[in-house]
Structure 1
Amino acid sequence: MTPTTPTYPGEATEEDNLMRDLIVTQNITVDGVIEAGDWFGPADGGPDVLEAVREQSARADAFLTGRHTFEDMRDFWPKQTDDTTGITAYLNQVHKYVVSTTLQEPGWEPTTVLRGLDDVRKLKESDGRDIVCTGSIQLTHQLIAADLVDEYRLFVYPTVVGSGRRLFVDGTPHKLRLTTSRAFAGGVVLLTYR
């Protein structure tokens, strides 16, 4: 019989190391709102925030969204011909995965349609680098509820909006561990939790 090493709640096991990390990356206000509004634009955080986003993108080879976010992005980003942020180039080349029970033809390659959270689990079990989910509030809430999120990367903007949809819904307590924090010149702070 092979001896086993005991594990403790929250501690990584050998099996955990075989799965890809699913990273939720959100732009968020100080009061926890992730719903886009006048408080946020892709380049609002400044060049150092864009550089941090590029660094994160380089560690990921899968971009996960819900159908609404996917369609909004598909209708906007491929048409940007003078984008100096690098977002268009990244989104056009990264493999996109969209969770939808109704979408048939994505129309923005490379894209794979996933039919539900079981398909997301299978994606996590496949070979590859990080899977990043950005925006997609409804999908993010489902991923959190299903305990599929490995890490949260929160770009906290020095703004309070007072209302709007939040990252964590009422009645869903979570104990997170801060792994890194990084402040940027424009007042944005990147907090990474596992």
Structure 2
Amino acid sequence: MARKITGSLFVSLDGVIQAPGGPTEDPTNGFDEGGWLFKLPDDGVNQTLGELFGGAYDLLLGRRTYDIFAAYWPYVEGPEAALGKAFSHANKYVLTGNNAPLPWENSHRLTDWEEVAKLKESEGPDLIVQGSGSIYPGLLDAGLLDRLILITYPVILGRGKRWFGAETPARKLDMIDHYVTDKGTIIASFAPGGDLPAYPADALTPSTSDREAERQARIAHGTW
């Protein structure tokens, strides 16, 4: 039986996923709101995370998220030590285009989507993608993502890396579950729903007015 791939993302209302966990996590491009997740504490999220990481799993990560995790989780102490130990024990499959070492124990290199597809068909626990926004376009395009959990906090960050990049393919998603915490965080789970349907025949017909023709001409000339 093929493994399932579940993605989980912390995201702002305006789509920013950069550095939710700490101020030094990812300050690239001048991002100075690192750790925004902990600025908005919400115990209502804990049940979802407990269910997600409560059983057996392997991790599928992009290279930068792997570097962030490898520098933190093997060394964490206190209440988070148990999760750090679980992450260290789990197999970590890293999709990367370079040959830099993967020093964290139980780490494995994947170089292309064909290898990800083979991993999905192999024996083993289901795979969890945490963070790793850059690999979602490829997962969606290859039809490899089984479930997406978006944990959307009631905050607008204004700038920062977004997971819906320009290269993300157009896809329909079907909501399979949703929950809103007392703090207003929206936890919604989606399954891929296939390609977008064709424009319906009974939908609005584009205008044929002279003003619309003028507007279309300005669009074509880049002056609109």
CA distance in 2, matches of 1:69, 1:161: 20
Residue aligning to 1:120: 116
1:93 counterpart letter in structure 2: H
Indicate yes or no: 2:198 matched with 1:184: no
Could you tell me which runs of 5 or more consecutive residues in structure 1 were left unpaired when the two chains were aligned. 1-17
CA distance in 2, matches of 1:188, 1:60: 26
How far apart, in 1, do the equivalents of 2:107 and 2:4 lie? 19
- Superposition deviation, residue 168 in structure 1: 2.1
Deviations 1:30-61 (A, max 9, x none): 12222224463369543331232121112451
Matched, 1:63 2:64: no
Partner of 1:131: 127
Kept after mapping to 2: 8 A contact 1:59/1:130 = no
What is the TM-score when the length of structure 1 is the normalising length?
0.79
1:43–1:85 Cα contact (<8 Å) kept: no
Task: Between the two structures, name the one with larger relative contact order (CA 8 Å, sep ≥ 6).
Answer: 1
Please say if 1:173 is aligned against 2:197: no
Partner amino acid, structure 1, of 2:6: I
Q: 1:62–1:132: 8 Å Cα contact kept in structure 2? A: yes
Indicate conservation of the 8 Å contact 2:137/2:169, yes or no: no
Aligned counterpart, 1:35: 18
Give, in whole Å, the separation in 1 of the partners of 2:105 and 2:68: 15
Matched AA of 2:173: L
SS at match of 1:58: coil
| Aligned counterparts of 2:92 and 2:162: Cα–Cα separation in 1 | 24
CA RMSD after TM alignment: 2.3
Cα pair 1:133 1:140 within 8 Å, conserved: no
Unaligned runs of 5+ in 2: 20-32, 192-224
Aligned equivalent of 1:140: 136
Inter-partner Cα distance in structure 2 for 1:185 and 1:128: 36
* Structure 2 length-normalised TM: 0.70
Distance in 1 separating the partners of 2:5 and 2:38: 22
Aligned residue number for residue 12 of structure 1? none
- Across the two proteins, how many residue pairs are aligned to each other? 177
Decide whether aligned partners of structure 1 residues 124 and 53 sit closer, same or farther in structure 2, where only a CA change above 3 A counts. same
The aligned counterpart of 1:103 is 99
For 1:97-143, what per-residue CA distance to the aligned partner results, in whole angstroms no more than 9, with x for missing partners? 11123235321112211122111101110123321111112222322
2: CA distance, partners of 1:51 / 1:93? 22
Q: d(CA) in 2 for partners of 1:96 and 1:46? A: 28
